Amino acid sequence: MSFCNTIDRLIGTNRKRSLVDGYSFSIYAKAQSLPDEEWEEANGQANFFLSKKYLQTLEILHEDFISFRYILVYKNEQPILATYFQINDFTADVFGELLQEQLQEIQSRRAKIFEQYLDHNKSRVIMRLVTNGNNFVSGEHAFVFHKSLSRTKAFDLAEEVTDVIGKSVKLRGKISATLVKDFNESQVPAASAFKDKFIEFSVEPNMEIRIPEGIHSLTEYVGSFSKKYRNRAKNIFKANTGIQKRELDLADIQKHNPVIYRLYEHVFEKAKFKLVKLSYDYFTEMKRRFEKEFIVHGYFRENELIAFGSAYVLEDTVEAHFIGFDYELNKELESYQNLLYNFIELTIEKKKKILQLGRTASEIKSTVGAKAEPLVCYIHPQNTVSKLILKPFISFLQPSEWVPRNPFKEEAETT
């Protein structure tokens, strides 16, 4: 029996298979099948985005168009590493849009043939992307490991199970590429197996705010800015005069969900790379299952919802999540920058130390005090299509040039 058929038969069972150096693993296709205590033990860092409850919710919401795989790695029967994968199939029209400009720069005959292929097969699945990590959030959420395991060994084991998944899901079609995301650049071990076997590339940095000691309100936070940025903030707040902010409970989200989702789509359609789209019920289900952790604020003008912001409130951190607003109204109301300040206010009110603002709009986020954390990803092309588009794909995801701003008094710009 082939290795791939053996792995496929073992999915969803408790049977362990050998990995390397005395380690073993179990593989699951459904989060509900994960053994609670063993998964939690491996998740020694208590990563919310790798908790069984969160993963099960994410899977239920998106299983119609994303496949999931979960792996527990053991050492002498002790669970020491937990990781999971999202498997997406992409049609030709997605990559036709993504690579339109890049393909024009490729002069080879092979690229022209591929471009013609895209034009004539827009609805055909041409690429399967296996992602070790979470396509819905940025940051280090690919795997977690027990404190007894070194970071270098954890990366090596993660690379081994990534190879296992790559082989096993070939049963349902050819894999085009394996993507591992996202890691803080300074935290990747120098001898990581990913560095040897995958192509490393940089992506937009994660923008993070650390609330200064002694700050107890948004007013105090802005008060620590230089005069230039205090005045800027005052103008932003003034533009939002007349807008009412309300925290939405489950009933509110259910009532306003059509508008919430439409506003989310406005932002999604402007995104640089539209890899995955939220399910229509995402906001209601996350609030239903994570009433305390998942916060949604609505912004109303004359009782009409014109913007929203969502966030996860975790142990020490607030994780800014999906937002939505009308781009035409944004010019008048400074909706986006007011959303950033409201995330800061939420972090202070919840007495948390760190606000994660995620990727994109780095320069604007730096004007409210965010600092950049460089991120790297790893990718491994596995067929002709992915090898052809890999260079423009990576180029497309490279960080754009931007100028960091420092709004605080002690860090104020001299210009």
Which of 49, 51, 37, 50 has its CA nearest to residue 79?
Answer: 37
Same fold, 3-204+375-397 and 212-352: yes
Q: Which residues of 44-70 are buried (b: 16+ CB within 10 A; e: fewer)?
A: beebbbbbbebbbbbbbbbeeebbbbb
- List, for residues 256-308, the tens digit of each pLDDT value: 999 999 999 999 988 776 678 999 999 999 999 999 999 999 999 999 999 99
- 210 pLDDT higher than 70: yes
Mean pLDDT of the chain: 87
DSSP string, 297-344: EEEEETTEEEEEEEEEE-SSEEEEEEEEE-HHHHHHH-HHHHHHHHHH
Tokens matching residue 112: 């022209």
List alpha helices for 129-243, DSSP H.
151-168, 193-197, 218-223, 227-239
Mean pLDDT of 21-31: 93
8 A C-beta contact, residue 209 and residue 391: no
Query: CA–CA separation, 355 vs 206, rounded Å?
Result: 11
Q: What is the pLDDT of residue 197?
A: 86
Mean pLDDT of 71-83: 95
Instruction: Write out the E strands in 20-156.
Output: 23-28, 66-75, 78-91, 125-132, 143-145
CATH of 3-204+375-397, one of 3.20.20, 3.30.160, 1.20.1440, 3.40.630: 3.40.630
In this structure, which topology does domain 212-352 adopt according to CATH?
A: Aminopeptidase (3.40.630)
Q: Output the CA angle 391-372-234, nearest 5 degrees.
A: 125
- 107 pLDDT higher than 50: no
Look up residue 76 and give its amino acid.
N
Query: CA–CA separation, 51 vs 30, rounded Å?
Result: 13
Q: What is the pTM of this model?
A: 0.89
Q: What is the pLDDT of residue 386?
A: 73
Domain ranges of the chain: 3-204+375-397, 212-352
